[in-house]
Every structure is written in C-alpha cells, then in structure tokens.
Amino acid sequence: MPPVKKPRTREPLWHEWDRKAQKHGLRRTVYDVNGDKYTGEWQDNLKHGKGIQIWKTTGAVYSGDWKLGKRDGYGSYSIRDPVTKQYKKVYTGWWENDQKCGYGLMIYPNGERYEGEWSAGLRSGWGRMYYLNGSIYEGQWLLDKANGQGMLRLPNENRYEGSWKNGKKHGPGAYFYLDKGQLLEGIWASDIPKCGIVSDFGKDEAPAPAQYPIPKV
C-alpha cells in the first residue's frame, strides 16, 4: 500500500505577524502613542542595550544603557534650555532600575553641582557639592543630605570639619576661623555649637585677627 500523506498544517498568519511585531535586537526609531520616541536595541519587546529616548512633553533626552525597559548602566540625561533651545546635560553617570545609582555628576538648574555617589536617585555615600554662594561640602551623604563625616569650606576660606546629621553640623567638630586666626573645637547640635574650646590658629597670617588675645587658664 502506498504511504498516506498527511496534509501539512499551516501556521496561522497571525503567528508570523506577531513575531514580526515583537521588538528584538537593533531597530530604528519607535514612537509611543504619546509622542515619545526611542532609537536603539531591544530584547523581548523591552528597551535593552544601547539606546536614546526622547520625551515629547519635556524635550528631555536620555542616551545610554538600558536593561529590560529601564535605564540601567551608564548614561546621560539632558534637557533643553528654554531660552537658548540648546541641550545641556543635567546628569552623567550610572543608573540602576531607572534611578541614579553609583557615581555620577549632577548639574542643577541654578548652576550648583554635585559629583559623587548616589543610591535610589538620592545623594548617598561620598560626594562633593558646589553651592551657588561659593561654599563647598565634601564628605558623606545619606538620603540627599550631608550625614556622617564631612568638611564645609566657605567662600572666605573658613571651614568646618566634623560630624553631620540631616544636613546640619551635629556632634564633635572643629570650626576654623581663618579670617580671625582662631579655632573652635567642640560639640554641635543642629548647626549650633553647644560647648567647646577656642584657641589661636594661624593668627599671624589672618587677614582680620581677633583684637583681644585669649587669656591663659
């Protein structure tokens, strides 16, 4: 008996269309319904690899690494200046789970900048903050505030070195009044010195030394 040929089952067309619709690998620009657009690599229909995202409403641009649909790895985030219409970088550094995490540089709208460590989108770890008035803080951070050991240097070169808590001087520390040639070593609580010892420090080089000498005990 001749062999009986079974009819070939043809795969439904929608299976093929669905495969073609799935985004995987390197693709050209893909537009969202809200006008956002992404150009780069995909995996299993998610942004994954290198890519550039442009948000329509804000005009902001992210260029860098992606992982399963979220910013993850190294990348930069830029916004458009409302006056010059030119793009300027706001953050350059590491990301994790769509948030700043690791080492990065942040430039704020008023010109202040922070370079250091981040966690879950907040300044945490070691970092250096340059303030608009010329002051510089360098030290430890926690939940976006100075916390731990750090040094604050003022524009007149006076500085505080010691403990911080919730963004304020708190605990043992030393305040160098270099303009007066004096040093205060003591204990602070919420930015207020509670007790300490004042001594002369570089008084001969001070631009405005204290008028009266400290009496010896």
DSSP secondary structure, 89-133, as one string: EEEEEEEETTEEEEEEEEE-TTS-EEEEEEETTEEEEEEEEE-TT
Q: Of 95, 130, 151, which one is at a domain's C-terminal end?
A: 95
Instruction: Please state, as a whole number, how many other Cβ atoms lie within 10 Å of the Cβ of residue 139.
Output: 20
Identify whether 100 is part of a domain: no
pTM over 0.85: no
Which has more pLDDT, 165 or 3? 165
- Domain of residue 78 covers 21-95
Identify whether 132 is part of a domain: yes
pLDDT in the model for residue 200: 77
116 and 191 inside one domain: yes
90 and 113 inside one domain: no
| Domain count within the chain | 2
Is the pLDDT at 22 greater than 70? The verdict is no
115 and 78 inside one domain: no
The pLDDT tens digits of the residues spanning 146-179 come to 999 999 999 999 999 999 999 999 999 999 998 8
The pLDDT tens digits of the residues spanning 133-146 come to 999 999 999 999 99
Tell me the CATH number at 173.
Answer: 2.20.110.10
The pLDDT tens digits of the residues spanning 78-109 come to 999 888 888 999 999 999 999 999 999 999 99
Is the pLDDT at 202 greater than 60? The verdict is yes
91 and 119 inside one domain: no
Identify whether 14 is part of a domain: no
d(CA 131, CA 145): 14
